[in-house]
Amino acid sequence: MIQDIDVAVVGGGPAGLTAATYLRRFLRSVVVIDGGRSRARYIPESHNCPGFPQGVSGTGLLRRMREQAEAFEVEITTGHVDTIVREGEGFVVTAAGRRWRARKVILATGLADRLPEVPWAEAAIACGALRLCAICDAYEASDQAIAVYGPGAVIGGHAAFLRSYSARIALLPTDADLAHEAIAQAQALGATLLPPGGTLEFDGVHCHYRTPDGGVHRFDTVYPYLGYEGGPSLPTGLRLDSDDSGALEVDAHQQTRVPGLYAVGDVVSGLNQISVAVGHAAIAATHAHNALPFVPRAAAPG
Ligand SMILES: Cc1cc2nc3c(=O)[nH]c(=O)nc-3n(C[C@H](O)[C@H](O)[C@H](O)COP(=O)(O)OP(=O)(O)OC[C@H]3O[C@@H](n4cnc5c(N)ncnc54)[C@H](O)[C@@H]3O)c2cc1C
């Protein structure tokens, strides 16, 4: 049993839900297949999301975006898309024992953050003791005691960025690879370099860094920069262009090298932000609609 549709959207985060809403409003048949692990679910409260002057939680935003899509009768299915296979000029998409024959596919599969390997990571994110995105929320951490945790090769630049928000910045290296210009620059800006190889602890409110010699340093906020789990999540059956991090490269219409296959949001190389994801989605959905066969509307009765 296979279902024919205009567009299959893989991923139901801000990017996928926006694309689906646009497509239904273009009167196209569309299904969203979503694994339910949007990065946005971790957002305690976003203050840079357009239209929410009092802030909005990630789960609250996802709920509203889902409601908006469903108000236009978008079908949202829970499941993990395993394969996307080219069939003629379209695609066959398989998930959770179901199959769709789609003329176009929009990939909105996002990324999965690599978190510190501690059982308390999600609890610390929920209370802002761990933050994952300085562009998103460094403003809220202004003047706090902030630490940047990760490999020596990457933390220096992030520490320098955060230095404009607080005079109290510490570097917590996870390795001894410290001979980096960015680390020297951060130190020149007043950031403190702590000994590498310590452990992160959480007391329910704050994170602490215990150095190998037993020193304990308490922070209001720690930003781990540990990269993403295995790069973007992509169904098999696709060979696409990507940058050094594995993020997809697309053209000005968000189209990959495969005609009819679009990519939007964090899975695409660029700035990982909600406003960027919804912008990508609007561009891809509009291009996909214009590339689909024109369907003249029958005269309204009466
Ligand atoms: C702690 C935190 C705070 C943040 N704060 C902000 C902020 O304040 N402002 C801001 O603009 N951005 C913020 N972000 C970033 C923001 O969450 C992302 O940019 C945004 O969620 C990207 O949307 P997306 O739809 O591309 O991907 P996602 O929201 O990650 O959604 C991708 C979806 O695709 C699904 N999926 C993946 N693979 C498959 C598959 N094979 N089959 C089916 N489904 C699949 C996943 O389960 C997921 O539901 C924050 C991120 C984090 C982690």
What's the CATH code of the domain at 209? 3.50.50.60
Q: Is the pLDDT of residue 237 over 80?
A: no
Number of domains within the chain = 2
Ligand 1 contact via 283 beta carbon (within 6 Å): no
Q: Is the pLDDT of residue 298 over 80?
A: yes
Is 296 among the domain residues?
no
Domain hosting 11: range is: 3-112+228-291
pLDDT digits (tens, 9 = 90+) for 175-222: 999 999 999 999 999 999 999 999 999 999 999 999 999 999 999 999
Q: Is the pLDDT of residue 233 over 90?
A: no
- DSSP symbol at 98: E
70 and 162 assigned to the same domain = no
Q: Mean pLDDT lowest for which of 197-201, 226-230, 266-270?
A: 226-230
Cα radius of gyration rounded to whole Å, the chain: 22
Q: How far is the CA of 131 from the centre of ligand 1 (A)?
A: 15
Ligand 1 contact via 260 beta carbon (within 6 Å): no
Is 298 among the domain residues?
no
pLDDT computed for residue 230 by the predictor: 63
pLDDT computed for residue 232 by the predictor: 58
Q: How far is the CA of 14 from the centre of ligand 1 (A)?
A: 7
φ, ψ dihedrals at 201, nearest 5°: -130, 165
Is 299 among the domain residues?
no
How many Cα atoms sit within 13 Å of 95 on the Cβ side? 22
237 and 157 assigned to the same domain = no
95 and 191 assigned to the same domain = no
pLDDT digits (tens, 9 = 90+) for 33-42: 999 999 999 9
Q: Mean pLDDT lowest for which of 26-35, 110-119, 240-249, 263-272?
A: 240-249
Query: Please, which residues have CB within 8 angstroms of residue 111's CB and are 6 or more apart in sequence?
Result: 39, 228, 229, 231, 232, 233, 247, 266, 267, 272
Is 300 among the domain residues?
no
22 and 79 assigned to the same domain = yes
